[in-house]
Amino acid sequence: MAHGEVQIENDRFRVTRWTIEPGGAIPMHRHDYDYVVVPMVTDRMHVTMADGTEIVTELEAGVSYTREAGGEHTVANRGAEHDIVFVETERLA
């Protein structure tokens, strides 16, 4: 299971805290805006792109990364013990 909690949403930004439980996933989705991810944990998540290719992303707590708009993917926590938690900030304008 995965769930997102929108913490801030205004005309410029949307900030969402995501939690992906072990074995859970964020279903296939498209990013319509550029975004920054701030991992809250050090772990690994599996990203499956719309074309079926897979990327393993190594997360380090507090070390941010950014992606451009247009990506489509599923994000999964294949670990058996810990939640993956990150904060995503989308630049809406």
Residue of 34, 10, 36 lying closest to 18 (CA atoms) = 36
The CA dihedral of 1, 26, 58, 30, to the nearest 10 degrees, is -170
pTM: predicted TM-score of the whole model, two decimal places: 0.94
Question: Cβ(34)–Cβ(90) under 8 Å?
Answer: yes
Residue-level pLDDT at 79: 87
DSSP-based three-state secondary structure for 77: coil
Q: For residues 90 and 14, is the Cβ–Cβ distance under 8 A?
A: yes
Say whether pLDDT at 7 is over 90: yes
pLDDT in tens, 16-59: 999 999 999 999 999 999 999 999 999 999 999 999 999 999 99
- What percent of the chain has a predicted confidence (pLDDT) above 70? 100
Domain boundaries, the chain: 2-91
Q: Answer yes or no: CATH 2.60.120.10 is held by domain 2-91.
A: yes
